[in-house]
Amino acid sequence: MTGTRSIPPLDQDPHIRNDYGPDGMFSALVAAIIQQCSCEREHAIAALKVYRNNVDHAVESIEKSRSRRRTTRRDARLDHEEKVVETSASEISHSNLVQQSRAPRTPRRVMPTEESDSAITEQVEEARMQPDLEKTSPAGLQVVTWESITSEKPAFQLPNITVSDSAPPFDPREGRHPYPAIERLLWAVQGGLSGADAAQYLSLIQPSKLPSFLDQPFGTAPSFFYIVNTGDEDLIRTWIKFGANVNVRESRYGVPLLAYAIFNASTTCGPESRMSIVSTLLGQGAEVSSIPPSLYNSGSGSMKPSPTEHRSNDSETNWCNPYFQQKMSSAMTISLKYILKRRAETQPPSSRLIQVASEHELFPLFSLPFTMIGQDLALQMLIGRLLTHLITPSDKPLVLTFAGPSGHGKTEVARRLGKLLSLNMLAIDMTQMKVETDLLGPHPPYHGYERGAPLNNFLAENSGKRAIVVLDEIEKAGPKLLDALLIVFDEGRYQDRRSRMQVKCTEIIWILATNALDSDIIEFNDSNRAARTDTEHLNLKLKESLSRRLNARMKSVFGAPLSGRVSAIIPFLPFTRDEQMVMAHKYLLDLQTRMFQPISPAEKRLVGQMHLQIANEVAVCRKLADVYYDPDRGARSLESAVKNEVEPKVVGKYLENSAQIVAGQAMEDYILDVDNDGHFE
């Protein structure tokens, strides 16, 4: 038929080996079924495909199919024989005849029929529509129950997937196979498959089949568990992009993917990567209701809950028996508690908002709060303003002012915004821009016009496209420098100074970052410190009051022409005490990661392979926040504290060891704590 892409037979496809052929990776499974059932090869292959290469279930299916046919023929024969008995003069009793006719028969070879092929087809569709969650493998999870608490370590780990030596290398084009095998894809994932190759594979599968394909279990765990287990954020985003369910659960004990990412990632990837993975899942809709609130609402990170403290009758959280409770409690850090609590307290977007945002490729915006520390008010205003502007037609670009003290997330939010929305971004340090030509380049025919300038060239390259331009510290730019951009801000048009071609800038998101409004923001924060954590209604009043104040200050500092073209001022407030502690913990995680890296004498990297543990992270982070946080420097003050106060003590302790430093040396354990006098030790 015209327009239909035909798929060649398996043994003729140049890109795909016949996995079920004599030399295929599943040939041994086919042979085993033929031996046990004495069936045709085609019948064995069909059953294996239905039951995802599970030999036991395939054999059971074939035997049941035969049993149904034997029963039908036997009943028909019995009816005939009973009629003969009624009219016969035989002395054999009716009961003996029935008993004899129902005696066990030796299994005989059953040739495949049109009926059996139809039955297999029906089973295929049924298996796809209703996966059997009770089917488990020996590699499934073994855990204790509520009634038996033990110190033993049950096997909560995913199996290593292996294939025969004769199996062909994985090829992403295998996705066009009419029966794509999740086992083979996961085998490739465990072997280091890239996100790009995984995306190519998944793009070849029919979209209607993707959700069930991605969520099907291998053993007791859906494929997403294997992806999270890699710690590869690119793969995780790929699975989400193609429709994998972020709320999927392990089928035997109901362990949610989010919980697995929390407690398992602590052993398979670094602490920073674990935070990023959990943030990604939460931002894409992972339900925090699956996690017992007592795990992240406790005030002290060092508090050890009792064996029954987290027990719940809630069906969402009753998976958390003592074994999992212990693993979750051990994995919980200040940062994880913070992000889980933030997700629990965040009002989810409405279905209509999700629909509209998805249509405009803005759905990732909703994950922005889970990639940041603090700045609830700024993120709420930013997301609202972005959605309103980008989903409604406009002939003007969006011009935002990010105002607040240094080190409180202005540049970081812009960077993460560009990453989440996959937008090109240009950041310009305006302290280096003294005259107009520094920013946009000279007009022709002046010397050097053909080279342009970074901003001029970026606008030309992104004409008509959505992109981000960050002008940092605009208050330090040369006099009248920003006047050159007033027409761009107002009308969204610009002329490339190299080619004199018109450039469309209506899709550009302009971010003007400034510290010129710091005094107003800090004063407002000090006056309303307690109210910042109050009700949503009160926060709305605070937002309106602060906006009026900042608009007036913006006009007085930058003048009416520029301030009148600003769409909104986004205020970045100083961190609360809890946020300061979480920020301190972020830099401690970074220190742990750097200390964990392998030693390489060839690269003169002689400090590493250290397992740095924080004995009482609450006390350590509180110490850093109380002593070293500076509202004028924000996160940079805490970063400096970890670098200058904590790291030297850790490295000094490491250098006290008299053993020679060599590549591949054993991991060494070090513990960071605060003594009774409040000193790091």
What is the number of H-type helices and E-type strands within the chain? 28, 11
Once rounded to an integer, what is the mean pLDDT over residues 526-540?
Answer: 65
Q: Same domain, yes or no, for 488 and 558?
A: yes
Burial class (CB in 10 A: 0-12, 13-18, 19+), 565: buried
Once rounded to an integer, what is the mean pLDDT over residues 171-188?
Answer: 90
Output 539 or 284, whichever has higher pLDDT: 284
Q: Is the pLDDT of residue 40 over 60?
A: yes
Give pLDDT, residue 532: 63
The Cα–Cα gap between 580 and 584 comes to 6
The Cα–Cα gap between 53 and 56 comes to 9
Give pLDDT, residue 579: 94
Once rounded to an integer, what is the mean pLDDT over residues 187-193?
Answer: 92
Residue 398: pLDDT band by 50, 70, 90 thresholds?
very high
The answer to whether the peptide bond before residue 217 is cis (omega within 30 degrees of 0) is no
Name, in order, each residue with C-beta under 8 angstroms of 103's C-beta and a sequence gap of 6 or more.
none
Give pLDDT, residue 84: 40
Q: Same domain, yes or no, for 517 and 630?
A: no
Q: Same domain, yes or no, for 400 and 524?
A: yes
Q: Same domain, yes or no, for 443 and 542?
A: yes
Between 87-96, 379-388, 624-633, the lowest mean confidence (pLDDT) is in 87-96
Contact 199, 244 (CB under 8 A): no
Choosing from 552, 571, 590, the residue where a domain stops is 571
In this structure, which amino acid lies at residue 59? V
Structural domain contains residue 677: no
Structural domain contains residue 123: yes
Output 69 or 342, whichever has higher pLDDT: 342
Residue 77: pLDDT band by 50, 70, 90 thresholds?
low
Give pLDDT, residue 111: 34
Q: Same domain, yes or no, for 547 and 594?
A: no
Structural domain contains residue 99: yes
Choosing from 525, 545, 571, the residue where a domain stops is 571
Burial class (CB in 10 A: 0-12, 13-18, 19+), 208: exposed
Q: Is the pLDDT of residue 91 over 70?
A: no
Percentage with pLDDT > 70 across the chain? 78
Once rounded to an integer, what is the mean pLDDT over residues 375-393?
Answer: 90
Q: What is the pLDDT of residues 324-354, one digit of tens each?
A: 998 899 889 999 999 999 999 888 888 888 8
Q: Same domain, yes or no, for 276 and 247?
A: yes
Q: Is the pLDDT of residue 649 over 80?
A: yes
The Cα–Cα gap between 315 and 496 comes to 61
Once rounded to an integer, what is the mean pLDDT over residues 284-294?
Answer: 91
Output 260 or 157, whichever has higher pLDDT: 260
Q: Is the pLDDT of residue 365 over 80?
A: yes
Q: What is the pLDDT of residues 438-491, one digit of tens each?
A: 999 998 888 888 888 999 999 999 999 999 999 999 999 887 888 899 999 999
Output 57 or 113, whichever has higher pLDDT: 57
The Cα–Cα gap between 209 and 224 comes to 16
State the CATH number of the domain containing residue 555.
3.40.50.300
The Cα–Cα gap between 681 and 679 comes to 6
State the CATH number of the domain containing residue 661.
1.10.8.60
Q: Same domain, yes or no, for 43 and 94?
A: yes
Total domains present in the chain? 4
Structural domain contains residue 508: yes
Once rounded to an integer, what is the mean pLDDT over residues 155-184?
Answer: 84
Q: Same domain, yes or no, for 417 and 558?
A: yes
Q: Same domain, yes or no, for 215 and 305?
A: yes
Neighbours of 563 (CB within 10 A): 18
Q: Same domain, yes or no, for 564 and 587?
A: no
Once rounded to an integer, what is the mean pLDDT over residues 320-324?
Answer: 89
**Structure token digits, residue 47:** 């059953």
Give pLDDT, residue 30: 82
Give pLDDT, residue 114: 39
Structural domain contains residue 350: no
Give pLDDT, residue 429: 94
Q: Is the pLDDT of residue 44 over 60?
A: yes
The Cα–Cα gap between 183 and 191 comes to 12
Mean per-residue pLDDT of the chain: 79
Instruction: List the domain range (segments joined by +) for residue 299.
Output: 172-345
C-alpha gyration radius of the chain: 33
Once rounded to an integer, what is the mean pLDDT over residues 560-583?
Answer: 94
Output 310 or 545, whichever has higher pLDDT: 545
Q: Is the pLDDT of residue 25 over 70?
A: no
The Cα–Cα gap between 283 and 362 comes to 13
Contact 562, 400 (CB under 8 A): no
Give pLDDT, residue 511: 97
Give pLDDT, residue 306: 39
Q: Same domain, yes or no, for 490 and 424?
A: yes
Q: Same domain, yes or no, for 629 and 663?
A: yes
Structural domain contains residue 205: yes
Sign of CA dihedral 41, 45, 48, 50: negative
Structural domain contains residue 484: yes
Sign of CA dihedral 446, 450, 452, 456: positive
Structural domain contains residue 679: no
Once rounded to an integer, what is the mean pLDDT over residues 75-103?
Answer: 40
Give pLDDT, residue 268: 58
Give me the helix-helix angle, 223-230 and 257-268, nearest 10°: 30
